[in-house]
């Protein structure tokens, strides 16, 4: 064989080996790639799926947490509701107590006027001087400490004229004035001493014309309107504890201005019953 033919044979042989190697390489490599992919797919979930999937225990824990938070919220709302209810009830009781206390204060304030059964009036100037004197002295005897006053020889006390004038202003207003004079009869007689500017008064008076019973009260902007029954004290004492209902002789309407816890009687109006002017 010539040299040229030998080279051609070698080339053909080498070409054949390359073709076989190429074919064998594809056969050997491709199955490996497919096997690796199949192995990865055998897990059933991708890496992303593994990250997002939650175990049942974790879900249960989240549900328990949600239930706990809901329970806490419900309990808090219940406590708030209970506190609001308690405050509402307490406020109602407080308002009732305040109204009772204020009624008692007003009853004591108007007692000297009711006891004297003075004529109804719309203006302070309509009140007679004798009524002013009598109510002012009764106000001192009922609502003040009289232990500081000197005793009179007859067993009464001396009340200075100045104190009576101040008492008048307490009842009927700062601009109220009076002409001092002797007023009243019997135990309720107040004797005026013009020279010494004092009144001689009985400090153990036992009789009242009437006692007040406030049956209604309304107030707005410091002005209070009271509906007052006039109860005869002698009847009240006679039927006390016997279960007998005491009826009022008459009913009047009192208007009071209240500023800085200081009261001023503005007017008295007859609503029902007969009034005997005094």
| pLDDT tens figures, 146-167 | 989 999 988 899 999 999 999 9
Rounded distance between C-alpha atoms, residue 191 and residue 185, angstroms: 10
Give a yes or no: residue 24 inside a domain: no
Q: Give the C-alpha separation, 18 to 26, whole Å.
A: 12
- Look at residue 86 and tell me if it is in a domain: no
Buried b / exposed e over 47-80, threshold 16 CB at 10 Å, is eeeeeeeeeeeeeeeeeeeeeeeeeeeeeeeeee
Structure tokens at 202: 């009985």
Q: What are the tokens at 13?
A: 């042989």
Percentage of the chain beyond pLDDT 90 is 45
Q: How many whole angstroms separate alpha carbon 236 and alpha carbon 197?
A: 37
Residue 80 and residue 74: Cα distance in Å, rounded? 10
Instruction: Give the pairing type, strands 250-259 and 198-201.
Output: unpaired
In a domain, 8, yes or no: no
| Structural domain containing residue 246 | 98-272
* pLDDT digit string (tens) for the chain, length 278 residues: 555 555 555 555 665 565 455 545 544 445 454 544 554 454 455 555 545 545 667 777 777 777 777 777 788 877 776 675 556 555 545 455 458 899 999 999 999 999 999 999 999 999 999 999 999 999 999 899 998 999 998 889 999 999 999 999 999 999 999 999 999 888 789 999 999 999 999 877 766 789 899 999 999 999 999 999 999 875 554 445 555 567 788 999 999 999 998 999 999 999 987 666 54
Query: Is residue 4 domain-resident?
Result: no
On whether residue 217 sits in a domain, the answer given is yes
- C-alpha separations of 33 from 19, 41, 47, 65, 171 in Å: 21, 13, 19, 47, 113
Q: Is 187 helix (H, G, I), strand (E, B) or coil?
A: helix
How open is the CA angle 119-125-131, to the nearest 5 degrees? 40
Residue 15 counted as domain residue: no
Q: Does residue 58 fall inside a structural domain?
A: no
Evaluate whether residue 258 is within a structural domain: yes
Q: How many domains does the chain have?
A: 1
* Contact (Cβ atoms closer than 8 angstroms) between residue 135 and residue 110: no
């Amino acid at each position: 064989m010539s040299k040229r033919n030998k080279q051609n044979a070698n080339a053909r042989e080498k070409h054949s080996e390359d073709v076989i190697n190429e074919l064998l390489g594809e056969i050997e490599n491709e199955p490996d790639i497919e096997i690796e992919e199949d192995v990865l797919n055998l897990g059933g979930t991708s890496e992303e799926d593994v990250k997002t999937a939650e175990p049942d225990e974790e879900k249960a824990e989240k549900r328990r947490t949600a239930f706990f938070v809901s329970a806490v919220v419900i309990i808090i709302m219940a406590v708030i509701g209970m506190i609001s209810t308690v405050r509402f009830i307490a406020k109602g009781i407080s308002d009732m107590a305040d109204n009772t206390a204020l009624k008692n204060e007003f009853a004591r304030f108007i007692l000297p006027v009711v006891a004297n059964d003075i004529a109804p009036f719309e203006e302070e100037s309509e009140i007679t001087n004798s009524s002013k004197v009598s109510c002012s002295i009764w106000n001192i005897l009922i609502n003040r400490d009289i232990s500081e006053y000197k005793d009179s020889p007859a067993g009464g006390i001396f009340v200075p004229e100045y104190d009576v004038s101040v008492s008048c202003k307490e009842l009927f207003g700062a601009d109220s004035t009076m002409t001092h004079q002797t007023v009243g009869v019997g135990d309720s007689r107040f004797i005026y001493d013009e020279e010494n500017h004092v009144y001689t008064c009985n400090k153990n008076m036992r009789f009242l014309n009437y006692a007040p019973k406030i049956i209604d009260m309304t107030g707005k902007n410091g002005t209070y309107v009271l509906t007052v029954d006039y109860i005869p004290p002698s009847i009240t004492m006679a039927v006390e504890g016997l279960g007998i209902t005491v009826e009022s002789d008459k009913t009047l309407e009192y208007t009071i201005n209240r500023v800085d816890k200081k009261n001023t009687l503005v007017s008295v109006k007859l609503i029902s019953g007969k009034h005997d002017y005094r």
